Structure 1
Amino acid sequence: MVGYDPRPQDQGQGLSSSKAAAAGSAAGLLTRVFINPLDVLKIRFQLQIERFSLLEPRAKYLGIAQATNRIFREEGLRAFWKGHVPAQILSISYGAVQFASFEFLTKFAHNAMLYDARNPIVHFVCGGLAACTATVTLQPMDTLRTRFVAQGEPKVYRNLWHAVVTMFRREGPLSLYRGLTPSIIAVFPYAGLQFASYNIFHRISKWGSISSGNVHNLVCGSCAGIISKTLTYPLDLLKKRMQVDGFQKARISFGQVQTYKGFLDCMFQVARGEGLRGFYKGLSPSMLKAAFSTGLVFFWYELFCNILNDHKQGASSGHQQQQSKDLNRKQ
């Protein structure tokens, strides 16, 4: 199971931080390939300023099917993988930092602070702290990913390096950290709820004698993703709005332009101009993405952890057998 396991080594104790990082990177890479189109849809809805109304459909994107069709007609199939390179770098790095930090923190909580490492509350706190560590480390890559997804045609940024140079020259180095405040505020409860909910669903399945396995991990992860995303979604929307602040040239291709003075100003402008529903623009594709991405991340992570554990135990068993053979020869 995800997190430090205090049971004896032969019962499957948790991996080292380096192996957790490797498993987290692989999980992030494979998951990103599948969920990038949903991420594009989610971000486009989040950045759309216009009020959504079926009676007065001024907004460019009105629903998942309509938005998918419109993006495909106007920008082609490749548009659904816009920003895939920075997003893939982000996913690989984020998975490594988050899971390695989580394994370390749960082990620290158990050994140094004497808390039960398998407790859902411990998983909530450690999961939130691990995600904050990954977010601060990788915020520039998340901002670049959002900018690439936001730009329509013609493109403002030709490639990743061009985007970095352009932002440095026009907006300064701090532009890579736009949206960091709502990111930190949002990611702690979001990731904390993910890890805690995943833990709780695993516990419930054991109480109900539901069989465990890779598919079981996928279902538990998907449920955890839906719950955590629904409860923290408005903060994610504010983060995306602030990340493209000052990027009017690209945004105007699919909606109105708005500028913000800070986190609170962004929140007030959304509330005043778009109403309460404005905070939940893009919730449908976001929930689909959360279900798939969280489920797949935990699915792949658990799978790679099991592979690494089996390899570790196999190597240990082989080493013990070799030592036994050497001892018998000496006797």
Structure 2
Amino acid sequence: MTTMKTRGAAAPNPNFTVFSHVKYEHLVAGISGGVASTLILHPLDLIKIRFAVNDGQTTTTPQYKGLRSAIYTIFRQEGARGLYRGVTPNVWGSGSAWGFYFLFYSTIKTWIQGGNAKKPLGPTMHMIAAAEAGILTLVMTNPIWVVKTRLCLQYSDIEAAKLPDNKRYAGMLDALTKIYRTEGIRGLYRGFVPGIFGVSHGALQFMTYEEMKNSYNQYRRYPIDTKLGTAEYLTFAALSKLLAAAATYPYQVVRARLQDQHHDYKGSLDCVLRTWRYEGVRGFYKGLSPNLTRVTPATMITFLMYENVSHFLLSLRKEPGVM
């Protein structure tokens, strides 16, 4: 009671500033999870992007009958290397995105809790914290996602040779340089608007994940920050991702198409209208199957590694007699 009274009477107290709750452990743990899941599952991410941008109108886009057909075709035409096109920016993007996201989210959440990790926030505050973390992360990582998408969409060296030099990329740095030189900052932030809408994906996922963890611990009569077992983390991560992915997938299609160098949309609204006109509702869910096949195990790996690494690192920070 004394702590809460002091907090209410002295809002400027530095003990309750946002920066006092920044812990590098969440950054390191998030990066670890993001990099591990990306290295294992990148080929499925590449296929998801290629399905998403396939509007049936562009002749340079390869046609795949399904997930198995896509893997076979890419491997036959581009080799094993083809399945890992864009992996470098994807590792950088996923690692930094998950790292920053967990860092921002844990910092904002702890600040809202007033430093008391055992205080439940409820669905609304979880979504607010996750949305704020998502916007901050998107601002920092959008250029990397643009580069990743474009590298994934260089279907083969032969097809790439047909593109203008400014749309043919030798790698991550070359892509960043050419996009900035020919399209400016705006080019590096293509897909940012649907990305903002996509923040709802992370907010919904984290809210669901946190609420399931809290409810489970409360059911067991344990504090909500009690470490869970591997099975619980994997189950809650999978369920939260499936729910969020099914609800928000269309924005990912629009975002990928805006970032695709083979298309020339005037903006997000133009992309939505043209997709609806030529493909209907189905067009907004292209690539959903490979996406779910990829993101579900990716999320399970990421969250499991994050939870274990962060708990381990945070346990090293604690000293006897503190708190």
Q: TM-score range by the shorter chain?
A: 0.7 to 0.9
Residue 50 of structure 1 deviates from its aligned partner by 1.4
CA distance in 1, matches of 2:250, 2:63: 21
Q: Which residue of 2 aligns with 1:43?
A: 49
TM-score, normalised to structure 2, is: 0.81
Residue 48 of structure 1 deviates from its aligned partner by 0.4
Q: Which residue of 2 aligns with 1:143?
A: 146
Find the partner of 1:228 among 238, 241, 244: 244
Amino acid at match of 2:270: D
What is the alpha-carbon root mean square deviation over aligned residues?
2.5
Residue 208 of structure 1 deviates from its aligned partner by 6.3
Residues 21, 69 of structure 1: alpha-carbon distance in 2 compared, 3 angstrom cutoff: same
Find the partner of 1:170 among 173, 176, 182: 182
Q: Which residue of 1 aligns with 2:73?
A: 70
Find the partner of 1:24 among 7, 30, 46: 30
CA distance in 2, matches of 1:223, 1:260: 34
> Do 2:93 and 2:145's aligned partners in 1 also have CA atoms closer than 8 Å?
yes
State the SS of the aligned residue for 2:265.
coil
CA distance in 2, matches of 1:305, 1:165: 35
Q: How many residues align?
A: 284
Amino acid at match of 1:280: Y
State the SS of the aligned residue for 2:83.
helix
Find the partner of 1:265 among 259, 267, 270: 270
Residue 75 of structure 1 deviates from its aligned partner by 0.9
Q: Which residue of 1 aligns with 2:15?
A: none
State the SS of the aligned residue for 1:50.
coil
CA distance in 2, matches of 1:15, 1:64: 44
Q: Which residue of 1 aligns with 2:205?
A: 194
Q: Give the % identical residues.
A: 27
Find the partner of 1:109 among 66, 89, 112: 112
Residue 46 of structure 1 deviates from its aligned partner by 0.3
TM-score, normalised to structure 1, is: 0.80
Amino acid at match of 1:243: Q
Structure 1, unmatched stretches of 5+, are 1-13, 52-57, 249-257, 321-331
Residues 242, 279 of structure 1: alpha-carbon distance in 2 compared, 3 angstrom cutoff: same
Amino acid at match of 1:38: L
Residues 117, 102 of structure 1: alpha-carbon distance in 2 compared, 3 angstrom cutoff: farther
> Do 1:107 and 1:117's aligned partners in 2 also have CA atoms closer than 8 Å?
no
Cα offsets for 1:120-145 (capped at 9, x unmatched): 32211111210111011110001000
Q: Which residue of 2 aligns with 1:100?
A: 103
Residue 117 of structure 1 deviates from its aligned partner by 4.5
Cα offsets for 1:92-128 (capped at 9, x unmatched): 211221111101111222229xx95542322111112
Structure 2, unmatched stretches of 5+, are 1-19, 161-167, 222-226
> Do 1:20 and 1:96's aligned partners in 2 also have CA atoms closer than 8 Å?
yes
Cα offsets for 1:137-183 (capped at 9, x unmatched): 11000100000101111142111122122223333332111110001
Q: Does 1:243 align with 2:255?
A: no
Amino acid at match of 1:212: L
Residue 223 of structure 1 deviates from its aligned partner by 1.2
CA distance in 1, matches of 2:99, 2:76: 37
CA distance in 1, matches of 2:251, 2:232: 30
